[in-house]
Amino acid sequence: MAKRKIGVLTGGGDAPGLNAVIYGLVRACTETMDCELIGYKFGYKGLYNNEFMPLTRETTSGILHRGGTILGSSNKDNLFDYAVEENGVKVKKNVAHVAVENMKKEDVDVLCVLGGDGTLTSARDFARMGVNVVGVPKTIDNDLSATDTTFGFDTAVNIVVENLGRLHTTAESHHRVMVVEVMGRNAGWIALQSGIAGSADVILLPEIPYSLDKVIDKINERNANGKPFTVIVVTEGAMEQGGQVVVGKVVADSPDPIRHGGIGAKIASDLEGKVVNEIRSCALGHIQRGGETSAFDRVLSVRYAIKAAELIEKNQFGNMVCLSNGQMNSVSLENVIGMNKYVTAEHELVRVARNLGISFGV
């Protein structure tokens, strides 16, 4: 009997823990099921172009701790709405059948997809076409409601906390207000947890529109209490009451064309002249995605990998692995797409922050 062959791809933005999932999949699937694995390069683009590499103990040796993904990734290649050139003109077409034929050509029996909402939407659509698909959730934003925690989130929070510590010392030395912009898009989880752990004075979230006057009140309160410096952590998708999200740029050929960015600089500009402190802003950006994966995310990632291997072994396809009440489980891909998890004003961590004296600008 021929070995079962598994194709693996990583789509969307990179996240610490992707390599750890690949590492775990290779070991679980080769040791316990005697499978062959290949990795498609640059997400669905590699599946379309049939570009892949062997995934073996040798090719994945030493990657458990590494950030990023050895397979490369892309957040622009939706094969159900893919840009191709016809008669010198670029048009969008459904080319998913090409990917299916490529899998058949290479005798790939199962497709294991590591990605966020957009990547998993395509995974669901491939499952609807009859492809044996298993999904693994990935986003540093931690905004997928179907799972308690996504890998990469803990690493991102740790990176922000480390940088807040560095910025805290310069803010205190110069009596400055430091506005630190972090990732998360429309979900404030990174800002909330890193703000608490990093001793922020103000945390501004997309889910809780802020009042600039309330932020000023907090700065003035600290000045009056002998703390003439303030650290503000703000999610890139945060907005002022009655205002709009700040758009950094628009990427026209992306399925998610709106790129947030610039809210930190806007807040710094808005505060100029309204408080006695000097104001500085800092956008941490992709620093939050890079470097070594945290110990927590390494363990979480291999747990996801082992559960994914279990689903493959049991032929439980069309599902995504998830963490539910601390235990590894699975949920249908049909029930995870577009189901996002956001901070609420009543969330326990918001109450914790308020009790620590942290302001949310309201």
Q: What's the pLDDT score for residue 249?
A: 72
Q: Which class would CATH give 156-290+344-355?
A: alpha beta
pLDDT tens digits for range 39-89: 999 999 999 999 999 999 999 999 999 999 999 988 778 999 998 888 888
3-state secondary structure of 256: coil
Query: Where do the structural domains in the chain lie, given as residue ranges?
Result: 5-151+293-324, 156-290+344-355
Pick the CATH number of 5-151+293-324 from 3.40.50.620, 3.40.1710.10, 3.40.50.450, 3.40.920.10: 3.40.50.450
Residue 146 region by backbone torsions, left for phi larger than 0, else alpha for psi between -120 and 50, else beta: alpha
Q: What is the 3-state secondary structure (H, E, C) of 65-131?
A: CCCCCCCCCCCCCCCCCEEEEECCEEEEECCHHHHHHHHHHCCCCEEEEEECHHHHHHHHHHHHCCC
In degrees, rounded to 5, the angle at the alpha carbon of residue 190 between the alpha carbons of residues 188 and 192 is 65
**Which regions in the chain score pLDDT beneath 50?**
none
List helix spans (H) across the chain: 18-31, 44-49, 96-105, 117-128, 153-174, 189-197, 212-224, 263-271, 295-313, 348-355
Q: What's the pLDDT score for residue 283?
A: 94
Q: 159: which 2 tokens? A: 């990176």
Catalytic residue among 125, 141, 143, 297: 141
User: Do 5-151+293-324 and 156-290+344-355 fold alike per CATH?
Assistant: yes
Answer for the pair 239, 204: CB distance below 8 angstroms, yes or no.
no
What's the gap between Cα 266 and its chain centre?
A: 24
Q: What's the pLDDT score for residue 135?
A: 96
Active site residue 217: no
